[in-house]
Amino acid sequence: MQTKLNRRTISMPARYLINAALIALFLFGGSAFVGSGAVSGYFIKVLMLIGINVILAVSLNVATGYLGQLPLGHAGFMAVGAYTGGIFLKAVRADQASGVQYALCVGAALLLSGIVAGIFGVLIGIPALRLRGDYLAIITLGFGEIIRVVLTNIDEVLGFKFTYGASGLKRIPKITSFFNVALMAVLTCLVIHMIMKSRHGRAVLSIRENEIAAESCGIRTTYYKVMAFTLSAFFAGVAGCLYAGYLGSLQPTTFGFMKSIEILVMVVLGGMGSMLGSVLSATVLTALPEALRAFSDYRMVVYSLVLVLVMIFKPTGLLGQYDFSLSRILEKLMNPKEKRRKKEGGADE
């Protein structure tokens, strides 16, 4: 005989409150800890680089893990955002601003970088996403290389200094801080999570599972593929702007083919379709080379060996398609007898 379980759940306002409290604790607590001088400047720079790579990995996961495509030009969108942000920051002299004006300059640079990269995502995505698999990888790789070559040679076409070609864009105001990176990493994860939980996100996931079936059900596959591709490019541009403000100088060669592969490896290692996996893999793959710097002669061997072992024993990535939910974990803790009752009910049947 079945009995109705009084299962305790967390209301939606309470979920929002818990998430907001944790985000505030992470941002302001982390900033206070970093600003207290308890950690070295080198460690802070590593943390900022981890945050930038988290944004890149999570954004690429939209196109690879959620949409099921294989683009290899993510570094191109990062380059567009980096140069857009760098040129804008130099033009408005953000390093001479302060207070509200400084915050507005930084916010405008991040937004402008994302928008310009998103526009390139639309322009590239409309023709490229008509292809699939290896063909899509090849054409996006070509577009990424075109962007790099254009950044190198556009000054000769324009007749004046714009990107400064192969010599690089220098003296970019260093606006990137731990708080900026942490805030944008949280916003990136939050926005992508909310979109993927909406009906638009479900449409994107349906295209990954079976594009023909999704189209037969009335889903506008071309629209949603371009939307996901553009969203991915937008946040890559934001990460590029943070990267420009982190280094203070840019070289076109930084955004070559290997940079795209590096970002793709982070997504594949963490698990295609797992946001938490992308965050963890970006953290590990950024920190591991730095941790092994003392063994400079062998660190790349160890780094490569870790990747090989993961791909052999866990080909779906560290977390597969696991989607982390704090509310689900808390509800399980609130209902410790639920699992046992389900087992007993199954045994009775």
| Cβ–Cβ under 8 Å, residues 74 and 232 | yes
The yes-or-no verdict on residue 315 having pLDDT over 90 is no
Q: For the segment 187-245, what is each residue's pLDDT rounded down to a tens digit? A: 999 999 889 988 999 999 999 888 889 888 888 988 999 999 999 999 999 999 999 99
| Cβ–Cβ under 8 Å, residues 255 and 150 | no
How far, rounded to the nearest angstrom, does the alpha carbon of residue 166 sit from its chain's CA centroid?
Answer: 27
Q: For the segment 120-163, what is each residue's pLDDT rounded down to a tens digit? A: 999 988 888 887 777 888 888 888 889 999 999 888 888 888 88
Average pLDDT of every residue of the chain:
84
| Cβ–Cβ under 8 Å, residues 271 and 311 | no
What contacts 257, CB < 8 A, 6 or more positions away?
Answer: 72, 75, 141, 144, 145
| Pairwise pLDDT comparison (333 vs 169), residue with the higher score | 169
| Cβ–Cβ under 8 Å, residues 24 and 186 | no
- H helix intervals, 250-274: 257-270
Average pLDDT over residues 50-59: 94
Q: Is 249 helix (H, G, I), strand (E, B) or coil?
A: coil
Query: Among residues 125, 77, 76, which one has the least CA distance to residue 224?
Result: 125
pLDDT at 204: 92
| 348: its two tokens | 């009775």
pLDDT at 3: 45
- The structural domains of the chain, with segments of one domain joined by +, span 40-256
CA 77 to CA 54: how far, in whole Å? 15
pLDDT at 292: 74
pLDDT at 2: 42
pLDDT at 333: 67
Q: What angle do CA 324, 327, 329 make, to 5 degrees?
A: 70
